């Protein structure tokens, strides 16, 4: 049982990183764009 739980936890962690990566990239893009726009 513990092995199955560990595997599921690993898969969950990998999925979490895969899901959050694009959002983090978007946030960085929009954060940079927002900063350059506000400089005007």
Give the dihedral of Cα atoms 9, 13, 19, 24; nearest 10 deg.
Answer: 160
Average pLDDT on 31-37 reads: 71
Q: Name which residue leads in pLDDT, 14 or 38.
A: 14
Q: Please provide the average confidence, as pLDDT, over all residues in the chain.
A: 87
Asked whether the predicted pLDDT for residue 31 surpasses 70, the reply is yes
Banded model confidence at residue 36, pLDDT cuts 50, 70, 90? low
Distance of alpha carbon 26 from alpha carbon 36, whole angstroms: 15
Contacts of residue 29, defined as CB under 8 A and 6 or more positions apart, other chains included, come to: none
């Amino acid at each position: 049982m513990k092995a199955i739980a560990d595997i599921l936890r690993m898969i969950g962690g990998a999925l979490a990183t895969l899901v959050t990566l694009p959002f983090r990239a978007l946030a960085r893009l929009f954060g940079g764009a927002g900063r350059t726009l506000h400089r005007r």
